C-alpha cells in the first residue's frame, strides 16, 4: 500500500503535517470538552449556554474533518484515536460532575484563547511551506476568535 | 449546586446510570474510530466505504447525545472526556497509518458485533429498573444491527 | 352509530382507556399552563424562558393528539373538553397576572416531576394489557424527563 | 414586579383588554372543541372533516397567541387557564362520545356564526380606543368567516 | 458465500425469523391490495378514499423494507417474490374490476383488523427471543391500528 | 356501477388495454424482484448495488402507477393483485437466499433487456390506436434503457 | 416590428397555429369555469370537490402558458383576451349562483370529455406539420384524460 | 339549496357584494390582459417586462380568489365567467398581435391607475358596511399602487 | 424626468408623505442603533440579547423598505441618506464603546416607547388622507409594541 | 471490454448514433459559446442578457448529458472531447474580446435558428429507427424554439 | 466592564482596528446609498437596476456585520451610529429626488471603484499585523470588484 | 466600447490575466474530460466512479465561472471558446470509446496532479500582483488536492 503522493517537498510536508496533526488533536478535544459541558451544565443561563456550546461543537467537528482530510491529501496520516487525543491534548480538562454555567463560560473563553494562540503560530509556520493549509488555519482562527469574543463578552 | 432529582429509586438509578455510561464510552469511541478509518482509508472501494463510515459516525454522534442527556436526566453525570474514553474503551483500536478498505470493512463488522452484544446485555439489565432507558437501548441496537449486516454483507 | 371495534379484550380496553384519558387531561392542561406562563412571563431571562415554554407546549400538543387518537383507535372516546380538563386536572394551577421567570422555571420543573410519576405508573399499568400503548407512554415519559432535567438544571 | 407600561390611556386599555380577554376565551375553546370533534368523529365523510377540523384548530391556536400577546403588550394580563375557559366560555359544548360527521359540520357552522357576531362587536368596540387591536380582530373575523362559509356550504 | 452472523441464538433466530417472514408477506400484499383499490375505485367519495389508500400503501412499503432488512440483519433471508406472496398470503383478495368506495372502505377495515390480530401475536412471540424486533412490531401495530380506526370510522 | 367511458374506439381500447396490463405485470414484478435483490445481496460491492437497486424499484413503482391509471382512464381495469403477478409474469425469478453482487448485476441487466424488447413492441402496437399511451411507453423505455446501460457497464 | 421567424413552412404554421389558438381558448375557459365552480360550490362533498377543482385550474393555467408560448415561438400571435374567450369558447357555460357538488362533478366530467375529443383531433392534425406541437398536445390530452377518469369515477 | 347565511345586514351585504363583484371583474381581466402582453411582447426590454408582467398576473390571480371567496362568505355569489368578464370589464383592451415593450409598459401603468381609482372608491364605500372587506380592498390597493409606481418609473 | 403621478390629492399627499419620511428616518436609525448594540454588547445575557437585537434590526429593515416604497408610490421621494438620518433622528443615541446588557435592554425599551408614540400619531394623521398608508403604520405599530413588551418584560 | 448490447438493429443504431453525436457537438459548443458571451458582454442590457445566457448554458448542459447517455445506452460511444468539438462544430464562432449586448442577442438568435433546423432534421431521421431518441430530439427542439423566440423578440 | 482581551499586540490591534472601522463606515454608507437609489430610481431599465441595487445592499449588509464583529473580536469597539457614518463617510452622496437609471449605474460604478482602492490599501496594511483580518478584506474586495465589473459593463 | 477599468497596474494585470486565462483553459478541459469519462466508463466500479466524476465536473464548472469573471473584473477578456481550449490545453487527452474504471481513476489522478502543480505556480506568481486572485487560486488548489487524494486512494 503506497502513500498518497504529496504535492509538497519533504520538508514542507513535514512542517505542515505536524501543524495539521496538532490542530487535529486540539479540535477533537475541543469537541469532546464542548459536549462534556453541554451535558453537565447547570445554572440560570443553562438553556442559552447549553445551545451555545453545541455551536462550538459543530465548529470543532467541521474543522476536524477539514484538517484531517487536508493532512491525508498532503500524504500525512492524521491520527484522531482516543488514546492519541488523551495523551497529546494540552487543553485544560473539565472536572467530572455538574458544571456551573458561569464557570463553563469562563473555562471555554480560556480554552479558546489558548487555541487561538496556537493557531496563530500555525498560520505563521505554514506561510512559506503551504499557503493552502495556511488559508485553512486562517479560516479556523477567524471562527475561534469570533466564539472567543462571544464567550468573553458574557464573562 | 444540587444534583438533578432522579425519577428513579437509588438502586435503579445506579444500574441504569452505569449502563448509560458504558454506552457513552462505546459510542464516542465508535465515532472516533469511524473518523480515523474515514480519513486513512485506501483501496478500490475507497469512495463507497469512505462515505459509509460517515453514516456510522453520524449514528454514533446522534446516540452519544441521547445517551448522555438520558443519563443526566436521571441524575447521573455522564463522562465523555478524552481520558475517560481512552482508559475505558474496550473497542479494539485501529493501527496508525493507511488502512486498506477490505480490512476496514472487516474491522468495523467486528467492532459492531462486539457492541451489539454489550447493548443486548444493557437491554436485559434495564428492563426492570427503567423501561424508558431500555427503549433507547433497543433503538440503538436496531441501528447497530442494521449497520452490522451491511458491513458483514460486503466482507 | 357503532363504536370502533377494539383490538383489545374488554378488561384490557378499560385499563388502557383510563390511562389514556388521564394522560390526555394531563397533556392538555400542560399545554394551557405552558401558554399561560409564556404570555405572562417577566424577568431578566424572559426571552429564553418564553421560547423554552413553547417547546413544552409543542410537546404537549403533539402527544395530546397521539394519546387521543390511540384512545379512539382502541374504541374508547377521549374527552378533551374545557370542563373536563378544568374538573379533572391535578396539575397545580398558576396564579393570574405577571409571573417571574425563576418562579415559572421552578413551577414547570415541579409540574413535570408530578407528570413523570403519573406516566411511569401508566407504563407499569399498560405493560400487560397493551404494549402498544405502553410504548407511547414510554416515548412521552422520555420527552418529559428530558424537559424536566433542563428546567431543573436552571433552578 | 411592575406591569408592562401600556401605550394606551387607562380607559382605552380597559375596553381593549376586555375585548381581548373575551376573544382569548373564545379561541382557546374553539381549539379544544375542534380537537374533540377531530378525535370522536364518525361517518362517511370522516377523513375530509377530520382534516378540515385541524385547519380550524390551527387557526384558533395561531390567533390565541396573537390575541394573548397583544393583550400583554397593552399591559393587560391574558388568562387562558383551564378553569377560566370552562367557566367563561359561551360556546355550546359538544356531547361526549362519537359524533356523526353531518352533526359536527352543522355544530361548527353554528359555533363559527356565534363567534363572528362577537368578533364584529369587538371590531366596533375597538375602533376608537385602539385601531391596532381592531386590525387584529378584522383579520380574525375574515378567517372565521371564510371557515364559516366552507362549513355552511356542506351542511 | 457465508450467511450473516446472527446476534441471536438459533432458537431465537428461528422464532423471530418466521415472524418477520410472515409480516413481510402481509405487508407486501397489503401494498398490492391498496394499489389495486386505489386504481379501480369508484363512487362519490372516490377522491378522498383514492388518496387515503395511498397512505396505506406508503405505510405498507415503509414497513416492508424495515421488516425485510431486520430479518437479514438477523441472518434470515427474507422472501418477497411474487410467487411467495401469492401462495402464502392470507389476506382476502379483492375482485377484479371496478370497486365501489363503501365496499373498499369496509374491505380495508376488515383486512387491517386481521393483520392487527396477527401482529399482536408476533409482539407476544418475540418478547423473549428479540425485544428489538418486538419494538418494530409494536410500531407497525400502532400504525395499523390508527388506520383501522380511520377506516372503521367511515364505514 | 358503470365503466369509465373510454375516449377510444372499442378496438383501440382493446389493443391499448392489453398492452397496459402487460406493462403493469412487468413493472410490479420488476419492483418485487428489485427489492428481493436489495435485501438478500452480498459481496464487495454490496453498498453501491444495494442503493442502485432502490433506484430501479423507485422507477418501477412510479411507472406502475402511471400505467395503471392510464389504463383505467381508458376504461380498462388494471389488475395488479399478487396472484395475477405470480401467474402472468415472464421475468426469470431470483433464487431464494443470499445473492452475490455480480450475479445480481448480470441478472438485472438481463431482465431489463427482456423488458426493453417487450416495451419496444408496445410502442409499435399503440402507435395508431393511442399515441397518448405510446408516449408513456416511450418514456418508460427510455428509463429502462438508461438503467440497462448502467447495469451492463458494470458486468 | 417584424414577426418572429417561424421554423415551419407557411402551411404548417397555419394549421399548427390554428390548433394552438383553439387550444388556448379551451384552456383559458376551463380555468375560468373551474374557478366559478370552486367558488359557488355547495353540498356534502364541498371540501373535496372545492380542492379538486383547483387542481383542474392549475392544470389549465400551466398549459395555457405552454400553448400560447409555443404559438408565438412559431410566429403566430396567441389571443387570450376576455372578448375572444367569451366569443369563441364552445364549452357549455355554468349557471350563475350556487352549484350543487354532484352537478358540478358531472358537468366537469362532460366538459373534459368534450375537450379530450378536440385535443385528440389536434394530435392528429399536427402529426405531419409539427411533431413538436403534437408532443405538447399529447401531454395535455394525457392530463385531461386523467382528470376525466377521476371526475367520472365519482359521478 | 340554501344560500350561505350572511353576517351582514341586507343593505350592507348589497353594497359590499357589488363592490366585490366589480373588483372580481377588474382582477380577472387584469390577469388575462397581463398574460396577453406577456405572450405577445417584443422589444429590447422583452425579458424583464415579460417577467414583470407575470408578477402582475400572480397578484391578480391571488386577489381574484380572495375577493371571490370573500363574496361568497358574505352570501353573494361571485360571477367570474368569460361572458361576464367580457361584457362588464371597463379596462381598455390591448390590440391583437405583437406589442412593443414601451407601449406595454405605458398601457399597464394606465390600467393600474384606473383600477387604483376604482379600488379607492371601494375602500370608501365599504368603510361602514363591512370593515373586513374594506381591509381586503386596502391590501389590494397597496399592491396595485406598488406595481403602478414600478411601471410608471420606467415609462 | 417626471415625478410618479400620485393617486392622492396634493394635500393628502403632503400629509402622508411627511408622515412616511418621518417614519423612514425612525426606522433606519432604529436599524443602525440595533446593530451598534448588537456588536458592542457585554454581560451575562450577551447571547440572548445579541440575537434579540437582530430581530429588531430585521424588523426595522423590512419596514424601512415598505415605508420608502410606499412613499415613492405616492409620488414623494423618500430620503434615507446618512446625513439626513443623522440630522433628523430624534432617537436618543447610544454611547460609543462597550454596552452592558441590562442598560441596552432598558435603552431599547425606551426607544421603542418613543417610536410607538410617534407611530400612533401617524396612524391618526393618515386616517383620512390615506387609509392604505394608515394600514401600514398599524402593522408597524403592532410589531413595535410586541417588541416593546418583550424588552420591558426583561427590564 | 465488450460494448453495451444495443436494443436497436445495426442500421438503426448507426443512423441514430450519428444523429446523437451531431447533437452532442452542437450542444457542447452552444454551452461554451453561451459562457463566452456571458463573460465578455457589455452594454445597457448587460445584467438581463448576462443572466439570460446562463439559462441557455443550463439548457445546453442538461441536454448534453441526456444526449450522450442516450447514445451510450444504444451502444454508441459519445465523443465530447475538446478537439472533437473544435473540429466538428458548425456553429459560427464569436470574436474574442468584449461583445456588445445587441450583437450577442442577434448572434444567439441566429445560432439557435441554425440548431433548430438541424434538430428538426434529426427528428425526421429518427422517426423510424428509434422513436425513443426522436422523443428526446422533440423535447430539445421545443426548448431551443422557446429560447429562439425570446432572443428574437428582443432583436 | 472589561474590554475583550485582544489576540493581537497593541500596535497590530491599532492598525487593524482602524482599518476595520474605516471599512465599517464605507460599508454602512454603501448600504444606505444603495437603498436610496433603489427607491428613487427611474428610467427604462428601472426593474433590473432596482433589483441589482438590492444585491449591492445585501453584500454591504453582510460584510458590515462581519467587519464589525471582527473588530470587537480584536477588542476594538466598532462605531456604526448615524452621526459617525454621516461625518466620516468619504463616498460622494446622491442628490435628493428622482435618479435616472444611467446616472445611478455610473455613480455606483464610481463609488465601487473608490471603495476598491481603499480596500486594496487595507489588504496591504493588515498583511503583517493580522492575516485573519486581511483574509476578510480580500473576500470583500473580490465581491466589490465583481460588482464593479458588472456596473461598468453597462455604463 | 471601452474596456473595464482595471484596479491593477498594467504589469500586475498582465501577469494575473495570463494566469487566469491558463487556469480557465485547464478547468474547461477538466470539465469536458470528466464528462467524456462519465459517459464512456465501464467496469465493476462503474456506478461509484460515474458519480464521482460528476463531482469533478461540478467543481470544474464552478471555478471556470469564478476564474473567467475574475479575469473580466480585472479588465482582461477570458477566452473559453472550443478552438482555444483544443489548441491550448496541455491535459493528456482520453482515448475515444469505452474506458475501463481503473484506468479512468488512474488517469484522473494524473491529470489532477498536473493541474495542482500548475495552480501552485499560479499561487506563487500572483502573490505580489494580486492577492485577491491568489486567494481564488488557493481555494481551487485546495479543492483539486482533495479530489486528487480521493482518486489516488483508490488506485
- Give the chains touching A; criterion: ≥3 Cβ pairs < 8 Å: B, C, I, K, L
Question: Does residue E142 sit at the B interface (CB-CB below 8 Å)?
Answer: no
One pLDDT digit (tens) per residue for chain F, 155 residues: 556 788 899 999 999 999 999 999 999 999 999 999 999 999 999 999 999 999 999 999 999 999 999 999 999 999 999 999 999 999 999 999 999 999 999 999 999 999 999 999 999 999 999 999 999 999 999 999 999 999 999 98
pLDDT in tens, L116-149: 999 999 999 999 999 999 999 999 999 999 999 9
Give the DSSP letter of residue F102: H
Place of cell 483501496: B43
pLDDT in tens, K107-118: 999 999 999 999
CA distances (Å), origin K5, targets A145, J133, K1: 11, 68, 12
**pLDDT higher than 60, residue B145:** yes
Place of cell 489588504: K123
Q: What is the pLDDT of residue L152?
A: 95
Q: Percent helix, strand, coil in chain K (nearest 5)?
A: 75, 5, 25
The verdict on residue B103 lying in a domain is yes
Distance CA D86, CA D77 (A): 18
Q: Is the CB of residue K39 less than 8 Å from the CB of residue I80? A: yes
**Inter-chain touch E73–B145, beta carbons under 8 Å:** yes
Q: Is the CB of residue E65 less than 8 Å from the CB of residue F35? A: yes
**Number of domains, chain E:** 1
Q: What is the pLDDT of residue B155?
A: 86
The verdict on residue I54 lying in a domain is yes
**Inter-chain touch I142–D132, beta carbons under 8 Å:** yes
C59 closest CA partner among C1, C134, C115, C130: C115
Cβ-based contacts of E116 with chain C (< 8 Å): 7
**Which of K42, K44, K54, K99 would best serve as a mutation to test chain H binding (most H beta carbons within 10 A)?**
K44
pLDDT in tens, I125-150: 999 999 999 999 999 999 999 999 99
H63 closest CA partner among H15, H104, H26: H26
**Which of D131, D145, D147 would best serve as a mutation to test chain H binding (most H beta carbons within 10 A)?**
D145
Neighbours of B97 (CB within 10 A): 11
Tell me what ipTM this predicted complex has. 0.96
Question: Does residue J3 sit at the L interface (CB-CB below 8 Å)?
Answer: yes
A27 closest CA partner among A87, A75, A73, A80: A80
CATH code (residue J147): 1.20.1260.10
The verdict on residue I3 lying in a domain is no
Cβ-based contacts of L45 with chain B (< 8 Å): 44-45
Q: Is the CB of residue H50 less than 8 Å from the CB of residue H38? A: yes
**Inter-chain touch H152–I4, beta carbons under 8 Å:** yes
Distance CA K86, CA D11 (A): 44
CA distances (Å), origin A128, targets A119, F46, L123, L127: 16, 45, 12, 12
E85's CB contacts (< 8 A; 6+ apart) are E25, E28, E29, E32, F32, F82, F85, F86
Strand residue runs (E) in F2-85:
41-42
Distance CA L141, CA L116 (A): 6
pLDDT in tens, C41-86: 999 999 999 999 999 999 999 999 999 999 999 999 999 999 999 9
Nearest chain E CA: its distance from C123 CA (Å): 15
CA L141 to chain CA centroid, nearest Å: 9
Neighbours of L58 (CB within 10 A): 12
Q: Is the CB of residue D108 less than 8 Å from the CB of residue D48? A: no
User: Does chain H reach chain D with at least 3 CB pairs under 8 Å?
Assistant: yes
**pLDDT higher than 60, residue B105:** yes
Say which of F117, F138, F152 has its CB closest to residue J135. F138
Distance CA D139, CA L14 (A): 64
CA angle, corner J142, sides to J136 and J147, nearest 5?
A: 130
Nearest chain F CA: its distance from J93 CA (Å): 33
Q: What is the mean pLDDT of residues G1-13?
A: 83
Q: DSSP per residue over chain E, as a string?
A: -PPPPPSS-HHHHHHHHHHHHHHHHHHHHHHHHHHHHHHHEESTTHHHHHHHHHHHHHHHHHHHHHHHHHHHHTT------HHHHHHH--SPPPPSS-EEHHHHHHHHHHHHHHHHHHHHHHHHHHTTT-HHHHHHHHHHHHHHHHHHHHHHHT-
Question: Does residue L12 sit at the A interface (CB-CB below 8 Å)?
Answer: no
CA distances (Å), origin A70, targets A6, A16, A136, E48: 11, 10, 9, 55
**Any alpha helices (H) in C89-130, and if so which ranges?**
101-126
Hey, what's the torsion of the CAs at G80, G82, G86, G87, to 10 degrees?
-70
The verdict on residue H5 lying in a domain is no
Place of cell 406562563: C37
Place of cell 392542561: C29
**Which of D109, D123, D146, D149 would best serve as a mutation to test chain H binding (most H beta carbons within 10 A)?**
D149
Q: Is the CB of residue A143 less than 8 Å from the CB of residue A56? A: no
At A2, is the pLDDT very low, low, confident or very high (cuts 50, 70, 90)? low
Distance CA C39, CA D72 (A): 7
pLDDT in tens, J32-80: 999 999 999 999 999 999 999 999 999 999 999 999 999 999 999 999 9
pLDDT in tens, E7-17: 899 999 999 99
Distance CA H92, CA H110 (A): 9
Nearest-by-CA chain G residue for F66: G146
The verdict on residue A1 lying in a domain is no
Indicate the pTM of the whole model. Answer: 0.97
The verdict on residue E144 lying in a domain is yes
Nearest-by-CA chain A residue for K134: A138
Neighbours of G46 (CB within 10 A): 24
CA J71 to chain CA centroid, nearest Å: 15
Strand residue runs (E) in chain B:
41-42, 99-100
Joined grid coordinates for residue B4? 438533578
Place of cell 411467495: E84
Give the DSSP letter of residue D4: P
Q: DSSP per residue over chain I, as a string?
A: -PPPPPSS-HHHHHHHHHHHHHHHHHHHHHHHHHHHHHHHEESTTHHHHHHHHHHHHHHHHHHHHHHHHHHHHTT------HHHHHHH--SPPPPSS-EEHHHHHHHHHHHHHHHHHHHHHHHHHHTTT-HHHHHHHHHHHHHHHHHHHHHHHT-
Distance CA F18, CA F70 (A): 12
Give the DSSP letter of residue F42: E
Distance CA H132, CA G154 (A): 37
Burial classification of residue J80, based on how many CB atoms lie within 10 Å of its CB (0-12 exposed, 13-18 middle, 19 or more buried): buried
Note the residue count of chain K: 155
Distance CA B81, CA C83 (A): 52
Q: List L residues 16-75 in contact with F (Cβ-Cβ < 8 A).
A: 41-48, 50
Place of cell 440503538: B140
Cβ-based contacts of A153 with chain K (< 8 Å): 4, 72
Q: Is the CB of residue E68 less than 8 Å from the CB of residue E24? A: yes
Q: D41: part of which helix (H) or strand (E)?
A: strand D41-42
K124's CB contacts (< 8 A; 6+ apart) are none
Distance CA L109, CA L92 (A): 12
The verdict on residue B50 lying in a domain is yes
**pLDDT higher than 70, residue A3:** no
The verdict on residue G1 lying in a domain is no
Q: What is the mean pLDDT of residues L29-56?
A: 98
What percentage of chain D reaches a pLDDT higher than 90? 95
Q: H100: part of which helix (H) or strand (E)?
A: strand H99-100
pLDDT in tens, E45-96: 999 999 999 999 999 999 999 999 999 999 999 999 999 999 999 999 999 9
Q: Is the CB of residue K16 less than 8 Å from the CB of residue K72? A: no
Regarding predicted confidence, which is higher, C3 or H92? Answer: H92
Please list, residue by residue across H25-39, b when 16 or more beta carbons sit within 10 angstroms of its beta carbon and e when fewer do.
bbbbbbbbbbbbbbb
CA angle, corner I110, sides to I105 and I114, nearest 5?
A: 150
Q: J19: domain range?
A: 10-152
Joined grid coordinates for residue A95? 472536572
Q: What is the pLDDT of residue L2?
A: 57
Q: D99: part of which helix (H) or strand (E)?
A: strand D99-100
Nearest chain C CA: its distance from E43 CA (Å): 22
K122 closest CA partner among K8, K21, K32: K21
H141 closest CA partner among I132, I9, I13, I136: I132
**Inter-chain touch H47–J102, beta carbons under 8 Å:** no
Amino acid at each position: 500500500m503506497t502513500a498518497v503522493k504529496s504535492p509538497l517537498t519533504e520538508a514542507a510536508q513535514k512542517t505542515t503535517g505536524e501543524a495539521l496533526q496538532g490542530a487535529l488533536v486540539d479540535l477533537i478535544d475541543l469537541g469532546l470538552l464542548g459536549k462534556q459541558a453541554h451535558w453537565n451544565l447547570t445554572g440560570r443561563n443553562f438553556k442559552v449556554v447549553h445551545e451555545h456550546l453545541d455551536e462550538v461543537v459543530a465548529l470543532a467537528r467541521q474543522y476536524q474533518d477539514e484538517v484531517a482530510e487536508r493532512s491525508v491529501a498532503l500524504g500525512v496520516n492524521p491520527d484522531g484515536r482516543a488514546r492519541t487525543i488523551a495523551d497529546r491534548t494540552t487543553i485544560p480538562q473539565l472536572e467530572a460532575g455538574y458544571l456551573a454555567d458561569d464557570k463553563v463560560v469562563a473555562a471555554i473563553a480560556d480554552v479558546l484563547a489558548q487555541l487561538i494562540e496556537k493557531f496563530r503560530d500555525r498560520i505563521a509556520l505554514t506561510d512559506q511551506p503551504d499557503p493552502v493549509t495556511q488559508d485553512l488555519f486562517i479560516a479556523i482562527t477567524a471562527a475561534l476568535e469570533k466564539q472567543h469574543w462571544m464567550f468573553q463578552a458574557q464573562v
